[in-house]
Amino acid sequence: MPRTRKPGRGWLLRLVIAFALAQGAVSMARPAVSYRALSLGADERAIGVIAGVYALLPLFAAVPLGRRTDHGRCAPLLPFGVVLIAGGCALSGTAGSLPAMAAWSGVMGLGHLCFVIGAQSIVARQSAPAEQDRNFGHFTIGASLGQLIGPIAAGYLISERDGAMARTSALALIVSAAVAAVSLGSLRRIEHRTGAAPRRAESAARVPVGRILRSRGVPAGIFISLAVLSATDILTAYLPVVGEHRGIAPATVGLLLSLRAAATIACRLVMTPMLRVLGRTALLTTTCLLAGVLCAGIALPVPVAALAVMLAVLGFCLGVGQPLSMTTVVRAAPPEARSTALALRLTGNRLGQVVAPASAGLVAGVAGTAAPFVMLGVLLLAAAGLGARGDRPRKDDPAPAAVPAPRRRSPADRNRA
């Protein structure tokens, strides 16, 4: 009876807390990096390059890390990732040149990747099939909490008055390093040893990447995740630049980014009933479509109040793509290579984080600071098209209906046997 409850759910709560702190550190550091780069004389193109370098190291590290996780334990990646995040944040705060900032931003990105691969693999490994949507939804609430608190803290700490931006943005980066370090306290007893990992090692090594990518549902899950994360990432990196051009104070920009994150949390809290009412296909398609329109709308010179409403609705729509794409990839991939499949999804994310900001920097340099949001709108509309194709069950998908709970029979039925 208590089969699926064996490990309990305390591990998930601790993981959400750790993820909220680690993501909060990164979400505080990303706009702080942009402001510090601006104080060092960066233009829109340089901001795009620095945002792209954040994803460059992870782009090459994701699949090897996924293979390693398929072969063994996931938990060691978490503290390693936290150390890299804290180091990247602190050293970005002390860097005195744009190349140094880009390099330490890359270290921060690598740390974030290590943490996320380890954490997602733990959720996939320790969740029953029927619990995956819910557990991934709760897991991503940690990311949203971090994205809610981080920008507010950055906006509160960073001031451009009297030429103080260089000093205050450096302070925000040092504080973000301390926040990341605090997450280490929640990483106890996260992973439950099952003894299955050694047996998985041989078969996982035999699953080629090409086969994983050909699994029905994996490419769609990767692209939807890439589009949604690119939107969140460029929004975080470029809203400060838009704010500078439109005369919006850093504290207000921080509140706007946090409003978006709060709406994402609200979305994930009600995701299970939304799935029940709309179904996976309709939910993914509708939210990506609406998010694409709203992203393009940010390019318009609207008042701050209208921008706040747009960002709140956009945040709600962007809350759907990440958890559902995780579940889609986990269910579509061969069971012995799920961590590798999640790593491929993260590789797609990081590819988007390299290409999208770099493209955004070029577009912004040519067409203005609002143009990257139009580019994001197009990307999300393409994701909506993929979502519309549906997430049909595959042969190897566990069907919840296949294991119905046995019903009690009347004494007459029992006597018939």
Residue 403 CB neighbours (<10 A): 10
Give the tokens for residue 222: 């990767």
- What average pLDDT does this structure show over 354-368? 68
Q: How far apart are the first and last CA of the chain?
A: 24
CB 237 within 8 A of CB 382: no
* Of residues 18, 265, 206, the one with CA closest to residue 118: 18
pLDDT band for position 271 (50/70/90)?
Answer: confident
Residue 72: DSSP 8-state: S
User: Residue type at 276?
Assistant: R
* Residue 202 reports pLDDT greater than 60: no
Q: Per residue in 29-79, pLDDT tens?
A: 988 888 888 888 877 778 878 877 887 777 777 777 777 776 667 777 888
Residue 82 Cα distances to 19, 140, 187, 192, angstroms = 10, 17, 10, 20
Report if pTM > 0.75: no
Give the tokens for residue 17: 């807390």
pLDDT band for position 339 (50/70/90)?
Answer: confident
Angle between the N-to-C axes of helices 280-297 and 218-246, in degrees from 0 to 180, rounded to the nearest 10: 20
The residue with tokens 């270290």 is: 107
DSSP 118-132: HHHHHHHHHS-GGGH
Q: Determine the pLDDT at residue 188.
A: 78
Q: Determine the pLDDT at residue 366.
A: 64
Q: Determine the pLDDT at residue 401.
A: 38
Q: How far apart are CA 179 and CA 283, in angstroms?
A: 34
Q: Per residue in 203-259, pLDDT tens?
A: 445 677 777 777 777 888 888 888 888 888 778 777 887 787 788 888 888 888 878
The answer for residues whose C-beta is within 8 angstroms of residue 5's C-beta and 6 or more apart is: none
